[in-house]
């Protein structure tokens, strides 16, 4: 074999750069995967809990009380709205970190 062929074989046998410098094992990627599943379930639940702006009455032309005026989020509705945003950000960050680590 030529010298260039040895170099190409050695290139494919090296572990990734992040694994060498950060010493990240499969336990960390498994933990991030479990976190990502938890974030996705909580994100879906928080989206489904939120009250729809149109509602069933607004779909068929009825008035649901909020469609004619500006509606300000208060109390639990505001908490669920902010939690949905935070869960979306956490899900995106966990997805990107898992992509980088693998």
The whole-number pLDDT of residue 59 equals: 47
The whole-number pLDDT of residue 75 equals: 83
**Residue 82 counted as domain residue:** yes
- Number of structural domains the chain divides into: 1
> Containing domain of residue 36, as a range?
25-50+73-102
Buried b (16+ CB within 10 A) or exposed e, 32-46: beebbeebeebbeeb
**Residue 83 counted as domain residue:** yes
40 pLDDT above the threshold of 60: yes
Q: pTM for the complete prediction?
A: 0.60
27 pLDDT above the threshold of 50: yes
The answer to whether 47 and 84 have CB atoms below 8 angstroms apart is yes
The answer to whether 77 and 46 have CB atoms below 8 angstroms apart is no
Q: To 10 degrees, what angle do helices 76-101 and 26-49 make?
A: 150
44-95 pLDDT, tens digit each: 999 998 876 544 444 455 555 555 556 677 888 889 999 999 999 999 999 9
The answer to whether 18 and 91 have CB atoms below 8 angstroms apart is no
């Amino acid at each position: 074999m030529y010298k260039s062929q040895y170099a190409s074989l050695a290139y494919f046998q090296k572990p990734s750069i992040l694994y060498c410098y950060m010493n990240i094992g499969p336990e960390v990627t498994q933990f991030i995967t479990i976190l990502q599943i938890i974030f996705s379930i909580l994100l879906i639940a928080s989206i489904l809990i939120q009250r729809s702006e149109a509602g069933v009455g607004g779909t068929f032309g009825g008035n649901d009380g909020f469609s004619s005026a500006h509606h300000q989020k208060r109390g639990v509705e505001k908490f669920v709205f902010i939690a949905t945003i935070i869960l979306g950000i956490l899900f995106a960050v966990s997805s990107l970190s898992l992509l980088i680590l693998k």
